[in-house]
């Protein structure tokens, strides 16, 4: 039967995997976020010079994102709370403490703040009549109103709130512990998370980060960078086993020796050279097709790269 240290590491990895499934659901093309953006883009198409329609569409978008983000953030808190329940059970310390629900409105406010910058730009462009392609995009470019920045912000908060919930749920009942960074080790793990995997610090100490990407050199808890897949495990000092940590470090070192997968493997990639669209496949570029104008070439490449 796994010892408490190993079980704590496994518990942290379960949280990482649950957060990944939650993030994948959030990013899915049929998620509430994407549906909200598709709705507003349809409403704006051909109407960006109408201030009333623009205002109403953006207000609807804000309300949708506010509701959707609150739902996802609530689920992230539950991920951390369930991890706290598992870990306290490992050590026979009862049930976790209640978590502070005020963290959800704060995270929603941060997300809406980012959305409002999109909305302000779109409103200004609408008033100046600079063209709807700047707001909603076209075949060759993305407009200002797009979900990618919001999804990145929400992914940050999913991890942050999960860790916060775990910390709050265990803090009073596990005051004398060490904290260990537990990363999802696979071909997509960043150098930062490979390097921090297995690192142990005190309850009030920061993890020291090396490699890239990272938000800072020293951080108390994940996420350590955009798209971070690292969690924290709390372990009672008397149960810490050096061989478990050594195995974690060995796994990270071995993974670091493997080549990173190319983003182009398994699919064609198209780029524009003047009026030509070139195709990358099987390790080299092939001339694909020529067009009458540069705009037509860029539009074709955008369609083919989807």
d(CA 165, CA 128): 45
pLDDT at 261 over 60: no
pLDDT at 285 over 70: no
Output DSSP code: residue 123: H
Average pLDDT, the chain: 89
* pLDDT digit string, tens, across residues 72-84: 999 999 999 999 9
- Residue-by-residue DSSP string for 220-232: SSS--STT--EEE
Query: How many angstroms separate the Cα of 101 from the Cα of each of 70, 76, 81, 168?
Result: 11, 12, 12, 11
pLDDT at 131: 78
Strand, coil or helix: 182: strand
pLDDT at 184: 94
pLDDT at 254 over 60: yes
pLDDT at 264: 45
pLDDT at 198: 96
Q: pTM of this prediction?
A: 0.80
Q: Name the strand (E) or helix (H) holding 288.
A: strand 284-290
Tell me how crowded residue 5 is: count the other CB atoms within 10 A of its CB.
20
Average pLDDT over residues 283-301: 75
pLDDT at 129: 82
* pLDDT digit string, tens, across residues 16-26: 999 999 999 99
The tokens describing 119, both together, are: 């909305």
* pLDDT digit string, tens, across residues 50-59: 888 989 999 9
pLDDT at 276: 80
Residue owning tokens 């407009």: 143
* pLDDT digit string, tens, across residues 150-168: 999 999 999 999 999 999 9
Q: Name the strand (E) or helix (H) holding 181.
A: strand 178-183
Residues 6+ apart with CB under 8 A from 293: 275
* pLDDT digit string, tens, across residues 166-180: 999 999 999 889 999
pLDDT at 115: 93
Q: How confident is the model at residue 237 (pLDDT cuts 50, 70, 90)?
A: very high
The tokens describing 127, both together, are: 């008033």
pLDDT at 136 over 80: yes
Q: Name the strand (E) or helix (H) holding 202.
A: strand 200-202
pLDDT at 282: 57
Question: What radius of gyration, in Å, describes the C-alpha atoms of the chain?
Answer: 23
d(CA 182, CA 104): 25
The count of residues in the chain is 306
d(CA 255, CA 249): 10
* pLDDT digit string, tens, across residues 101-133: 889 999 999 999 999 999 998 899 888 888 788
């Amino acid at each position: 039967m796994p010892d408490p240290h190993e079980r704590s590491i496994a518990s942290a990895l379960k949280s990482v995997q649950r957060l990944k499934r939650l993030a994948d659901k959030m990013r899915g093309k049929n998620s509430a976020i994407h549906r909200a953006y598709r709705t507003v883009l349809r409403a704006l198409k051909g109407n960006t010079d109408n201030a009333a329609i623009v205002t109403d569409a953006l207000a609807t978008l804000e309300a949708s994102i506010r509701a959707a983000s609150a739902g996802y953030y609530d689920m992230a808190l539950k991920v951390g709370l369930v991890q706290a329940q598992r870990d306290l059970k490992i050590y026979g310390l009862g049930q976790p403490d209640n978590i502070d629900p005020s963290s959800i409105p704060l995270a929603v406010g941060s997300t809406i703040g980012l959305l409002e910058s999109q909305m302000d730009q779109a409103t200004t462009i609408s008033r100046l009549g600079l063209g709807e392609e700047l707001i909603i995009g076209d075949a060759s470019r993305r407009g200002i109103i797009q979900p990618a920045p919001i999804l990145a912000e929400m992914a940050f908060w999913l991890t942050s709130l999960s860790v916060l919930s775990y910390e709050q749920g265990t803090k009073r009942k596990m005051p004398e512990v060490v904290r260990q960074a537990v990363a999802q080790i696979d071909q997509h793990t960043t150098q930062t998370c490979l390097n921090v995997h297995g690192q142990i610090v005190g309850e009030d100490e920061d993890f020291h980060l090396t490699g890239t990407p990272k938000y800072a050199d020293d951080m108390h808890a994940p996420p350590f960078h955009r798209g971070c897949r690292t969690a924290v495990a709390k372990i009672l000092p008397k149960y810490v086993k050096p061989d478990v940590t050594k195995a974690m470090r060995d796994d990270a070192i071995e993974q670091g020796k493997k080549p990173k997968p190319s983003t182009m493997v398994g699919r064609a990639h198209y780029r524009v050279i003047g009026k030509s669209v070139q195709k990358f496949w099987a390790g080299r570029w092939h001339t694909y097709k020529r067009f009458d104008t540069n705009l037509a070439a860029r539009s074709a490449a955008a369609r083919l790269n989807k």
